[in-house]
A and B are shown apart, each in its own frame.
Chain A
């Protein structure tokens, strides 16, 4: 089984980059065995197709808009993961849901997809996250570790 852990988001836009930051925090403290790839996918354009298609399980770590209060950390699975082409004026509005829709058409979508997300407070132009959201990163990392273990992956803390 091959597993992709994909951090998404734009680190120039404050909390929008929380997924990338959470994956960085995960990599700093945990090791994963071969067969698990941890990737900083940035803002996830069509160039992510190959990477996603070459794995059969994917855990996305991203900022999410679910209607829940700011700072809420969630895990989304199954039919709640959005899979469709959005109406759009620009290819820059292309996102995870479009890529999953494309791979569904080509028959290459990962068999299992989950999203570990956090509802952002600010998407202003800044390299810094807001303190409230930065403080949620450990919870996202814990959820990611738990998710990997539930998939049978041996996740080990790095030696200090």
Chain B
């Protein structure tokens, strides 16, 4: 019998991401992903000064504030074909890299780990055995018996006082939970440590961005950070060295805790390296510009067709690459907008709402469906890591190989990059990316110090807007994948603005040619033990790190859970 499962965060007033699955014989046979709200952020920006667009753009969402700010100024700079001073590039690069490392740690420990880790089971663990296990996995300094005893007491106090309810979303005791108590305690303890360490990367963003959560230092043409080693109110040598210290402390956590944990948990859930494959065309953009024109980028990007890392890889090389600019189109055939014109390029994109009810074969989402040369693509850390791997980026090859070797050691059988096309693979790739980005942030810091050492203190070029119409795009390899902003400017005012956010690529509905998106196809064949508690569906959705650019965060005293599961 076919059962329909609907996972819908209905209690947020506007709705959010909804996932529908048909389950038959204990497996998902059909899946639909739907964005349940329309934002139309572009309408707010029309008529505004392009120099202010980033201020509004960074309010689009509560997590990726800096991400939208950086992409917005890049789009306007691209339209103006202007150069950006080296110091500004380095400072932006450090901010974006620090933000991403922070974001990946939070995603794994705070959002996803409880899909795999059973907190209640952790209370039964033997701290001595846990410590022994932890020390066999890594040299991390906070893996002593005492560390695990303390953490277990803390968790125990919560459970015994009835406060476990604060983990409102845990599926404790679910048949798909497989970790032994010691591994559960290990992960739960590192979760508590992660809360502390991710905050250090955020301090880096706050120091360079002048303020958090909304950075103040961005500008079309550079950054607004005055650098003067003699003045305390500017970026001083002391502050720059403090930033480096914070970066290094977080790097230790990524290398000695995050990566070993993901490899160990991944090995216990080895079956999940065969689940959640989905779309295996991958799109990622190059990032971390190290020149003034955006022609030389430290991290490579591109497009991979059909999981072929050798013959199927085409690089995207610069901020002006026409291969990227010309390849993107969006379809609204299954989205609640007026269509009929086929898939359109973002510069020509139309956003005219046409709401119908949910229709399995018709319209069922507010998200448009982007394609790259008519191919569906998966974006995100996995796409990013695979593209950098395919391009031969040395740190990526090194960290990916190390992670695969660790998993192989746990499984006592060799594994190759092919296991990465999976739910666990997306978590592993995110951890690898955190390690790669941590090294890259260190490199950008060194470049900044060397450039300042040469006496170059420039951080800003003044933009000049011509009469008539100009257009441009900016992209950024954000924590959830490629983000692009597209802007049309007429006589110095914004005429059209479109943001193609990463989750649009992954969570769109079917496209012009009925091809499924990454979410939809990744859910096919996912086993579901208990349709009332579809933990397995949540695992795969979480592995993508969903992000719909639409933050509604009012304080809600009425409801205690923001997603509801319905079996119909």
Which A residues fall within an 8 A CB radius of B?
A: 8-13, 16, 40-51, 60, 62-67, 76, 80-97, 101-102, 104-106, 115, 117, 120, 123, 125-127
Contact = CB atoms under 8 A, between A and B. Distances in A.
A105 B192 contact: yes
A35 to B, nearest CB: 19
A51 B206 CA distance: 11
Interface in B60-116: 60-63, 65, 102, 106-107, 110-111
B355 to A, nearest CB: 14
Given A89-B7, A91-B545, A12 B195 contact: no
Interface stretch (B164-172, B374-382, B391-399, B412-420): B164-172
Interface stretch (B297-305, B309-317, B546-554): B546-554
B199 A101 contact: no
A41 B213 contact: yes
Contacts of B7: 89
B106 A46 contact: yes
A114 to B, nearest CB: 11
21 contacts: A8-B553, A10-B552, A40-B214, A46-B202, A62-B555, A81-B557, A82-B560, A85-B166, A85-B167, A86-B169, A89-B7, A89-B16, A89-B19, A91-B63, A91-B107, A91-B547, A92-B62, A95-B556, A97-B556, A105-B195, A115-B555
A49 B552 CA distance: 19
B39 interface: yes
Interface in B138-176: 154, 158, 163, 165-169
B562 A86 contact: yes
A10 B547 CA distance: 16
Contacts of A89: 7, 9, 16-17, 19, 538, 541-542, 546, 563
A106 B192 CA distance: 7
B12 interface: yes
Contacts of A85: 166-169
Interface stretch (B40-48, B333-341, B466-474): B40-48
Given A49-B195, A88-B169, A44 B9 contact: no
Contacts of A43: 59, 61-62, 213, 551-553
A47 B212 contact: yes
Given A12-B41, A47-B202, A92-B547, A64 B555 contact: yes
Identify the 8 closest CB pairs spanning chains A and B, nearest first: A43-B62, A87-B169, A43-B551, A63-B554, A84-B166, A101-B166, A90-B546, A87-B561
Nearest to A18: B554
A125 B497 CA distance: 15
B296 to A, nearest CB: 31
B271 interface: no
Given A88-B9, A93-B562, A95-B556, 13 more contacts: A47-B212, A49-B199, A50-B199, A65-B554, A65-B555, A82-B555, A83-B166, A89-B16, A89-B538, A94-B62, A97-B555, A101-B166, A105-B192
A12 to B, nearest CB: 5
Contacts of A82: 555-557, 560
A42 B65 CA distance: 10
A49 to B, nearest CB: 6
Q: Which interface class (under 10, 10 to 19, 20 to 34, 35 or more) fits B?
A: 35 or more
Contact of B554 (A16, A81, A91, A125): A16
A13 B166 contact: no
Contacts of A115: 555
B198 interface: yes
Contact of A125 (B43, B163, B214): B43
A106 B154 CA distance: 9
B14 interface: yes
Interface of B: 7, 9, 12-14, 16-17, 19, 38-41, 43-44, 56, 59-63, 65, 102, 106-107, 110-111, 154, 158, 163, 165-169, 192, 195-196, 198-199, 202-203, 205-206, 212-214, 538, 541-542, 545-548, 550-558, 560-563
B148 to A, nearest CB: 16
Nearest to B18: A89
Nearest to B56: A12
Contacts of B214: 40, 42
A125 B45 CA distance: 11
Given A12-B44, A42-B62, A85-B169, A91 B110 contact: yes
Given A85-B166, A87-B168, A45 B63 contact: yes
A102 B553 contact: no
Given A106-B195, A123-B14, A95 B213 contact: no
B213 A48 contact: yes
Nearest to A50: B199
Residue with the greatest number of chain B CB neighbours at <10 A, chosen from A83, A125, A127: A125
B114 to A, nearest CB: 8
Nearest to A96: B555
B44 A126 contact: yes
B111 A91 contact: yes
A25 B355 CA distance: 38
A25 to B, nearest CB: 18
Contacts of A47: 102, 202, 205-206, 212-213
A89 B540 CA distance: 10
A16 B202 contact: no
Contacts of A125: 38-41, 43-44
Contacts of B165: 84
A123 B39 CA distance: 10
A102 B195 contact: yes
A50 B202 contact: yes
Contact of A93 (B9, B166, B202, B541): B9
B558 A46 contact: no
Nearest to B43: A125
Nearest to A53: B199
A123 B206 CA distance: 29
Given A80-B557, A115-B555, A106 B62 contact: no
A65 B13 CA distance: 9
A127 B56 CA distance: 9
Given A89-B538, A96-B555, A46 B59 contact: no
